[in-house]
Amino acid sequence: MKIQLSKKLIIPLLIILFILPFLYDLYRFYTDLDNLLIDYAAEAVNVLFALLYYFFLINTVSFNDRSIQENLKFFVYLLGILYLAVILAQIVLNPSYSSFDTPPLPETLASVIYSNLISAVAIFVMVPVVVILKNLIYYKRTRRTYFFMRGLILFSLVAIMSGLITRAPLTLNFDSSSSGIYFDISGSIVIILIVIISLRNSWITYLSRKEKVSYFFISIFIFWAVLYLYNFAFRYALPAHSIAIGVFVSIVWFFQVTYILFASIYLLFQLPTARIFDRKMDEVASLRNLNRVISSEFDFDKLVKLLTEMALRVIGAESIWLELYRPGTDNLYIASSQNLGDSELSNFGKDGRLELSKHVLSTRRPVLLNELTKNHPYAYIRDWKADIGCIIGAPLVSGDGEALGFLFATKKHSFGFFPDDLDMLESYAHQAVIALDNAKHLKESFERERMEEELRIAREVQQRLLPERTPEFSNIAIETLTITAYEVGGDYYDFISFPDNRLGLIIGDVSGKGTSAAFYMAEAKGIIQSLSKTFSQPKELLIRTNEILYDTLERKSFISMLMACVNPASQTLSFARAGHCPLLYYSIKEKTARLLQPGGIGVGLEKGEIFKDVLIEEKVKYKIGDVFVFYTDGLSEARNKEGIEYGEERLRELIQNNPEKSATELKDLIINSILAFLDGNSLSDDLTMLLLKM
């Protein structure tokens, strides 16, 4: 933060730090002064110059955000600037040094200027180069990378210090006899560290093939350019000015040479596999892409379209299509395709020849047919699509092993696919399975929600349709019982008071469940209520009801009904049964209960003629104390956990064995009997019962 605040100060400070040692160099050139203390002071200023520039750089230029390509480009620019500066300076100043001295001494004034200038330029270029190298090395960093880098910095500092103390620059020339780097321990360690660190060039792996090829050739050129640089520009000029800068630049130069050399070799080794690597990277990218799309896109059609698009591009096929089974059948259809003609789409599977799909299904593995000769067992596929030279196919198998369909890709020429194309196609097939699953689950949860809502409405409708209270009628005790199942079953009952003091009772069961059952129930109730104003005999009423309902009911729907009419004056109950459960009748005189089941077919099954012929109205002359039980199949078919039905017999015996009980007591007996029988099992259908005790 402190450094950032003083940014404005840095540039003038840099200039001062440049001028001070320059003036000292000039002074030394003219006076042959050899004061070690001032020398060290001048070196310290030089080091300060480099450090200050480094802080200036990292605070003004954002290096870390740059991509590999930008880093490399920047490096080439810097190298270009350096060469340009050196060449220009050499032409203008034509420097010369006494190479026998260590450090070398400038022989002309121009050489002094040259040394200072080139030192500044070297710092200007080499400091960012270090940052660039660091960025490249840190592309994939481990704890060890940090360790080696810190080691390198540390030993570089030691090398600079030892260079200062021995007043010997790190001469990287093999002809150096006494004070060369090879005799310097810290220098040697620096070299070892540089070699180790230079092995870290994993960024190369992730370059595209095109980049790898061009970078390789560029790297050879750059390598020579950098290699030549030391002797060309730095060797005498830098140490003549500053040993610290000389050692630093030498190390950075050596670092560059090593790194570029290794990178260049690495690039070369990667060239043969570059194409495959490119492809794999593309595959990974496209699968990741697909994965993302699949989790965000829920429209199945869009999903499969995207899937085939991506697979076509990555596999490099000429056409691709996704075959799916129609739910619950063995018929396949094309859910999505790329580059299939209209005729191919419309003729798909028309001749019923899907041997290839069956073959893929039987192996459950991806299949590669690289050559379709005329007599090939699957050559028939050319009758469907003529330009198939080779074909690969993968099955879509769900997690529980169910075959959902197939993914096929083709090329025009034989031997167009590689074995790894199969893996790729299989990955896409897997993705397709996930997409299918997602779409299915989503649909199911929507469906479930919708059903819940429908059932809620249906239950409400049913509750409103049933009579609010049981009528008081003569001396007859009437009890009702309704238990609505989770999925509304369509049970219904109603009472009609006829004007001549007769009571009508209707019990019915609409086929099917849910809202449609509730809807038909409402319709039936309305029709019966209005017809009862004109017709009062059960058979008549049922015939009229059937006539009307037959026209409006869906063909596969029907209503079983039982209609009774009680006349207390004559103590008769007449009833007709339109396909409904029998009427249970207990006669106190006979002391037996029996089921009355006169002929009759359900309402809505037939338009009228047969209905009329078959329907029989029966009349029962009852005594006081007789019992009638009307019920729906929800009672007789109530099943316990073992799957056994409650049945009419249990009901019949119950009534027969308890003739003295009141209507309420009987109802309770029945409820308890059913609950005991169910033993915790829930009802799958509505249960309705009307009980009359005369």
Partner 1 sequence: MENFEIDRVDRSEVSILRLKGFLDAHTAPNFEQAIQNLIEESRYKIIISMTELNYISSAGLGVFMGFIEEIREKNGDIKLSNMTDKVYKVFDLLGFPALYQIFKEEAEAEQEYSKK
Which parts of this chain interact with partner 1 (CB under 8 A)?
Answer: 328, 487, 490, 509-513, 554-558, 560, 578-582, 597, 599-602, 605-606, 610, 613-614, 633, 684-685
Shortest distance (Å) from residue 555 CB to partner 1:
5
Shortest distance (Å) from residue 491 CB to partner 1:
11
CB closer to partner 1 out of 25 and 509 = 509
CB closer to partner 1 out of 389 and 604 = 604
Rounded Cα gap, residues 59 and 417, in angstroms: 53
CB closer to partner 1 out of 360 and 549 = 549
User: Is the Cα dihedral 316, 321, 323, 324 positive or negative?
Assistant: positive
CB closer to partner 1 out of 359 and 639 = 639
Strand, helix or coil at 395? strand
Shortest distance (Å) from residue 617 CB to partner 1:
15
Closest CA to 578 of 557, 559, 595: 559
In terms of Cβ atoms closer than 10 Å to its own Cβ (0-12, 13-18, 19+), residue 351 is: exposed
Shortest distance (Å) from residue 470 CB to partner 1:
26
- Residue 622 identity (one-letter amino acid): Y
Shortest distance (Å) from residue 684 CB to partner 1:
8
Q: Report, in this order, helix, strand and coil percent for the chain, each rounded to 5.
A: 55, 15, 25
Shortest distance (Å) from residue 635 CB to partner 1:
13
CB closer to partner 1 out of 422 and 651 = 651
Shortest distance (Å) from residue 556 CB to partner 1:
3
Shortest distance (Å) from residue 679 CB to partner 1:
19
CB closer to partner 1 out of 416 and 602 = 602
Residue identified by tokens 């009329």 is 612
Supply the angle between the helices 514-531 and 419-465 in degrees, to the nearest 10: 30
Parallel, antiparallel or unpaired: strands 477-483 and 687-693? antiparallel
Dihedral of CA atoms 190, 196, 197, 200 in degrees, nearest 10, equals 170
CB closer to partner 1 out of 238 and 541 = 541
CB closer to partner 1 out of 419 and 599 = 599
Phi-psi region of 679 (alpha: psi -120 to 50; beta: other; left: phi over 0): left
Q: Which token pair is 347?
A: 């003729």
Helix (H) or strand (E) holding 192: helix 185-198
- 103 upstream amide cis, omega within 30 of 0: yes
- Residue 301 identity (one-letter amino acid): D
Rounded Cα gap, residues 108 and 29, in angstroms: 8
How far does the chain reach from its first CA to its final CA, in angstroms?
A: 102
Rounded Cα gap, residues 218 and 228, in angstroms: 16
Shortest distance (Å) from residue 614 CB to partner 1:
5
CB closer to partner 1 out of 151 and 512 = 512
